[in-house]
Chain A
């Protein structure tokens, strides 16, 4: 085993410090009792968390983001499962271009999608509505859901389905009783990853949200543009904690290294 020397370990320590420092700083500052950005004194104060709990704008934005994430992740999975079955289990000619096309939103910068949807939804007279946000979010998170469902679909042994058929099962029965349970880990982690991407999306949503449908990242961004105060650090700390919880869940379900390292473009 080739070991890391002292220089390598020092580099590693600095690198990890660089990765964690800004996130830790956000959490630390959020416990201040002052009215401006400052390091907290002992004992830590929950002043800004109380302020956050009473801030109607942030609460509404959180609720919008939550519903948007739940609905768009579910729709993305509902569209992904049959598409993944088609590509992995019934590949016809044209399966490869279809797969590439369905993953292609990953290649389009979100600012371009924001521009395109703003034009599209204004033309249709629905810009700023929840439905418009929902449609846009489903499009950008579908590739993430599809990748994980697809990986699961490739892993299903076709002989299991054949065995069910030979025992007299109808095609729909085979799907519901055999294939779907086998796809479940992929579906669950695909749903979670899609939810996270919807919940975190800012660039495209900035173009589409109106004051009634502002999502949490957009609310944070608009607040930061005006002033950076301890209130945004409190909201951000909660987002960091939320991400950590979902991360642990994804790690259990799928393995975080496999999820992030195997993604590729």
Chain B
């Protein structure tokens, strides 16, 4: 039996499964996005790009896309500001503490996003902790609610996604030589010089990959914007769900989904091409 033969025989079942269950549905969705909504049959001829024209020209959908991108961008920046220092702090911790806190930060990744978001709904809600604290401390007379606001969605998204940033930067720090920092310190370098000359070059690839992961997941997030943002604050993912399950305009929903998919793949592939090649040696 030749190697080639064995290779295709062994990977055949998984590949067949993927062809049937990944490629066919995605192809059908692309086709659906070109069809016209029809109250009787759901979708049909004529074929054309009119759904894309509608989504990309209607101010209602444009607002949703701009909001999605803005939320993803602000979330990414906030994750950078919180995650990068935290990763460096973790890196400088001693053995038992480092492992323990890494577990505390990464563990929530294994808890359902609905559950993590529910916690923020309890904090933000009308009878929530935040509103009560605001009144008790005399910041405001009425309890403030961050439910259905961009600020609320952003905070909850940062909580859900910041572990990805910490882990990316932390992994980048692990790749370097831990002795370099000590050597620099022993040669008289100050804290800022060590950061700029030793840590920063080492973590740039981690920052890049962490940012891409966070941005991509924030821009396509569903549960958190759906629960905290509700119907008042729609993003691309919740808008697509709305077209499919409420408005029942499937072709339009399919067009939103295709735009989301192409945008997401575009960002990930651009990252792969530009950043990974540039920092090729740090990814080995």
Question: Taking beta carbons and an 8 Å cutoff, which residues of A are in contact with B?
Answer: 1-4, 8-9, 11-12, 15-16, 18-23, 25-26, 29, 36-38, 79-80, 82-83, 85-87, 90-95, 98, 101-102, 104-105, 107-120, 123, 135-136, 138-139, 142, 146, 196, 199-200, 202-203, 206-207, 217, 220-221, 224-225, 228, 232-233, 236, 239-240, 243-244, 246-247, 250-251, 256-257, 260-262, 264-265
Stretch at the interface among B51-59, B103-111, B137-145: B103-111
What chain B residues lie within 8 Å of A36 (beta carbons)? 127
With contact pairs A111-B220, A112-B260 given, residues A92 and B8 touching in the complex (Cβ less than 8 Å): yes
Decide yes or no: A196 and B10 within 8 Å by CB, A90-B3, A119-B250 being known contacts. Answer: no
The verdict on B66 contacting chain A, using a C-beta distance below 8 Å, is no
Determine whether B45 belongs to the interface, using a CB cutoff of 8 Å to chain A: no
User: By CB atoms of chain B within 10 A, which of A82, A91, A112 has the most?
Assistant: A112
Q: 16 more A-B contacts (CB under 8 A) besides A92-B7, A115-B257?
A: A2-B182, A18-B82, A20-B104, A23-B108, A90-B7, A98-B15, A101-B15, A102-B11, A109-B264, A110-B220, A112-B258, A117-B25, A136-B21, A220-B115, A228-B118, A228-B121
Task: List the A residue with the shortest CB-CB distance to B250.
Answer: A119
Chain B 8-28 near chain A by CB (<8 Å), digits 1 or 0: 111101110110011011101
User: B73 interface residue, CB < 8 Å from A?
Assistant: no
Q: Nearest residue in B to A146 (C-beta to C-beta)?
A: B14
User: A98-B15, A102-B18, A257-B102 are known contacts. Are A202 and B223 too (CB-CB below 8 A)?
Assistant: yes
Partner of A21, one of B6, B102, B123: B123
B76-131 interface with A by 8 A CB criterion? 82, 85-86, 89, 92-94, 99, 101-116, 118-123, 125, 127, 129
| Nearest A residue (CB) for B156 | A22
Residue of B nearest to A111 (CB): B237
From A79, A142, A202, A261, contact of B113 by CB (8 A) = A202
Q: Determine the residue in chain A with the shortest Cβ distance to B120.
A: A22
Please measure, in the bound complex, the distance between the C-alpha atom of A233 and the C-alpha atom of B122, giving whole angstroms.
Answer: 9
**CB distance B213 to A203 under 8 Å?**
no
A-B residue pairs in contact (CB < 8 Å), sample of 14: A4-B89, A11-B85, A12-B101, A37-B127, A87-B11, A92-B3, A98-B15, A108-B22, A111-B257, A115-B29, A120-B24, A139-B17, A200-B113, A243-B111
**A109-B220, A207-B244 given; A138·B17 CB < 8 A:** yes
Check if A101 sits within 8 Å of B18, measured CB to CB. Answer: yes
Which chain A positions have C-beta within 8 A of B265?
107
B167 interface contact, C-beta 8 A: yes
Q: For B260, give its contact among A93, A109, A123 (CB under 8 Å).
A: A109
The docked-state distance in angstroms from the alpha carbon of A174 to that of B106 is 38
The distance in angstroms between the C-alpha atoms of A82 and B16, with both chains bound, is 13
Nearest B-chain residue to A171, judged by Cβ = B1
The interface of chain B, by Cβ under 8 A from chain A, is 3-4, 6-11, 13-15, 17-18, 21-22, 24-26, 28-29, 32, 82, 85-86, 89, 92-94, 99, 101-116, 118-123, 125, 127, 129, 159, 162-163, 167-168, 170-171, 174, 181-182, 185, 194, 209, 212-213, 220, 222-223, 226-227, 237, 240-241, 244-245, 250, 253-254, 257-258, 260-261, 264-265, 268
Is A26's CB under 8 angstroms from B119's CB? yes
B11 touches A83 (CB 8 A): yes
Chain A residue numbers with a CB within 8 Å of B28 are: 116, 119-120, 123
In angstroms, Cα B181 to Cα A116, docked, is 50
How many A-B contacts are there with CB distance less than 8 Å? 266
Q: Is the CB of A220 within 8 A of B261?
A: no
Bound form: Cα–Cα A110–B105 in Å: 24
Point out the residues of chain A lying under 8 angstroms from B93, CB to CB.
4
Minimum Cβ distance to chain B for residue A223 (Å): 10
- Interface pair A4/B92, CB less than 8 Å apart: yes
Which one of A86, A98, A115 has the greatest number of beta carbons of chain B within 10 Å? A115
- CB-CB nearest in chain A for B15: A98
Is A1 a contact of B182 with CB atoms below 8 Å?
Answer: yes
Q: A112–B261 contact, CB under 8 A?
A: yes
Whole-angstrom distance between the alpha carbons of A244 and B107 in the complex?
8
CA distance A245 to B102 in the complex (A): 17
A61 to chain B, nearest CB (A): 12
Complex Cα spacing A112 to B221, Å = 11
**CB within 8 Å for A86 and B112 given contacts A26-B119, A80-B14:** no
List chain B residues, Cβ under 8 A from A240: 111, 115
Provide the bound-state CA to CA distance between A110 and B226, in Å. 14
Interfacial chain B residues near A113, Cβ < 8 Å: 25
